[in-house]
């Protein structure tokens, strides 16, 4: 839908993702026409913004190229980050990554710097205050991530001539956090596998341990991708959707819609596309499960009350399981099982090149476009070593 207006007064329309978009002209720069675009979640806010533009334009010259028509005639922190998310982040990054950026902006960056603060007035001291504010109750990893996201947003502001230099680059980046892992030993893994074999939900948790798969990869497994090998080429994610029902994502984003906000998406890189041989006791339990499971519309191996499982729910459910099986004094995160899988492979003397491939680590950037039968035999022999270790 496009609301037609007089020439030179701006345009308002609804884009393919259902967002209301305001576009207004700016003075020509180097002989080229310029315009500014902003997007909003509802029509009323978009119209109010356009009316504000008209008021700022009345009796004065048009705003300079690189400025928003705000009440004070300059781009504010809130305006810039809203524009950056809509124009630079969501059209280019994977949805979950973009949502992480949006969360950092809304929760930390804009509140710390001030939504109405002129973007050009932000100084290095303001960035340090932002870091101190984020440190209150947050991990060093969060502080570092917020710093990185802010730096990228200000880099774009410099490139688009909103500001002359990036204040975030003047402040030292916070140090990375030391990993706080509680990885089960091989003896504890044996105990876990024995105990999980008697639980109704044991197969799912066992899959984490004996494949090294991530949350979305496990709960996104489909029946036709499980045989002698598990084909990990899709993962389940919950994504925000526009009014059209399509996830807010780049045009080339590869996905399959399941139900509501549940989607199957491709791993981040081709290194994440892999096949993992099934070994005992996982193989026998998986065969029994596939033969007796209740069917579901999506042919998912694992469901919860007949519906897809939110990967975040896995994170919430696991602590009770690990306390029951390993004790109250342990704090084994679900992701720590992935580390345990790597430890098992090393202990079984599996060559490192195969460990990288089996768990789909991003530390190897080489793309694997297919797996040959001969290569699968090597993978099978590698996983057989783990089976011998556990027997």
pLDDT in tens, 179-196: 677 888 888 999 999 999
**CA Rg value for the chain:** 26
What single-letter DSSP state applies at residue 170?
A: G
**DSSP states of 17-29:** TS-EEEEEEEEEE
Q: What is the mean pLDDT of residues 42-50?
A: 70
Q: Which of the residue ranges 16-20, 44-48, 192-196 would you say has the lowest mean pLDDT?
A: 44-48
Distant-in-sequence contacts of 3-11, Cβ < 8 A, 24+ apart: 9/54, 10/50, 10/53, 10/54
Handedness of CA 75, 77, 82, 87 (dihedral sign): positive
Please answer whether residues 43 and 20 qualify as being in contact, where contact means their C-beta atoms are separated by less than 8 angstroms: yes
Chain segment 209-241, per-residue pLDDT in tens: 999 899 999 999 999 999 999 999 999 999 988
Does the pLDDT at position 64 exceed 50?
A: no
Domains in the chain with CATH codes = 2-170 (1.10.150.130), 186-390 (1.10.443.10)
Q: What is the pLDDT of residue 357?
A: 82
Token digits for 357?
Answer: 């491939």
Q: How far is CA 1 from the centre of its chain?
A: 31
- Grade residue 43 by pLDDT with cuts at 50, 70 and 90: confident
Sequence-distant (6+) residues with CB within 8 A of 159 are none
CA-wise closest residue to 88 among 69, 102, 106: 102
Chain segment 325-375, per-residue pLDDT in tens: 999 999 999 988 988 888 888 888 877 788 788 877 655 333 232 233 444
SS (H, E, C) 230-283: EEECCEEEECCECCCCCECCCCCCCEEEEECCEEEECCCCHHHCEEEECCCCHH
CA-wise closest residue to 250 among 239, 261, 236: 239
Token digits for 356?
Answer: 């990288």
Please answer whether residues 81 and 113 qualify as being in contact, where contact means their C-beta atoms are separated by less than 8 angstroms: no
Distances in Å between the Cα of 70 and the Cα atoms of 26, 56, 66, 116, 174 are 14, 7, 12, 10, 33
Sequence-distant (6+) residues with CB within 8 A of 246 are 16, 17
Chain segment 239-288, per-residue pLDDT in tens: 988 777 788 888 888 999 999 999 999 988 777 788 899 998 999 999 99
Determine what percent of the chain is predicted with pLDDT higher than 70. 83
pTM flag (> 0.85): no
**DSSP states of 67-122:** ----TTSS-BHHHHHHHHIIIIITTTS-HHHHHHHHHHIIIIIHHHH-TTSBGGG-
CA-wise closest residue to 260 among 234, 284, 239, 280: 239
């Amino acid at each position: 839908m496009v609301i037609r207006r007089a020439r030179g007064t701006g345009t308002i329309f609804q884009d393919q993702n259902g967002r209301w978009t305001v576009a207004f002209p700016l003075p020509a720069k180097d002989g080229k026409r310029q315009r500014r675009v902003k997007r909003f979640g509802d029509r009323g806010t978009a119209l109010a913004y356009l009316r504000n533009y008209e008021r700022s334009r009345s009796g004065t010259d048009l705003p300079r190229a690189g400025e928003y028509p705000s009440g004070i005639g300059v781009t504010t922190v809130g305006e810039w980050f809203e524009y950056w998310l809509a124009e630079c982040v969501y059209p280019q990054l994977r949805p979950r990554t973009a949502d992480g950026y949006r969360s950092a902006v809304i929760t930390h960056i804009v509140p710390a710097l001030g939504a109405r603060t002129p973007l050009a007035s932000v100084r290095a001291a303001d960035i340090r205050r932002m870091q101190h504010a984020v440190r209150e109750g947050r991990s060093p990893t969060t502080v570092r991530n917020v710093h990185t996201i802010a730096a990228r947003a200000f880099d774009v502001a410099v490139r688009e001539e909103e500001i002359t230099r990036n204040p975030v680059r003047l402040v030292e980046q916070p140090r990375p956090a030391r990993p706080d892992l509680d990885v089960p030993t091989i003896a504890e893994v044996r105990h876990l596998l024995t105990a999980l074999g008697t639980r109704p939900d044991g197969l799912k948790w066992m899959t984490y341990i004996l494949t090294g798969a991530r949350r979305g990869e496990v709960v996104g497994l489909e029946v036709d991708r499980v045989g002698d090998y598990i084909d990990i080429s899709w993962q389940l994610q919950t994504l925000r959707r526009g009014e059209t029902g399509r996830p807010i994502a780049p045009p080339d984003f590869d996905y399959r819609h399941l139900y509501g906000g549940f989607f199957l998406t491709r791993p981040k890189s081709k290194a994440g596309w892999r096949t993992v041989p099934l070994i005992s006791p996982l193989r026998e339990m998986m065969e029994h499960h596939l033969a007796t499971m209740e069917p579901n519309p999506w042919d998912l191996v694992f469901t919860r009350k007949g519906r897809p499982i939110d990967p975040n729910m896995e994170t919430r459910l696991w602590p009770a399981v690990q306390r029951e099986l390993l004790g109250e004094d342990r704090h084994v995160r679900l992701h720590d099982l992935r580390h345990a899988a790597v430890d098992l492979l090393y202990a079984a003397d599996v060559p490192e090149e195969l460990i990288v491939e089996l768990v789909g680590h991003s530390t190897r950037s080489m793309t694997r476009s297919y797996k040959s039968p001969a290569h699968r035999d090597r993978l099978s022999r590698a996983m057989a070593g783990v089976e011998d270790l556990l027997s």
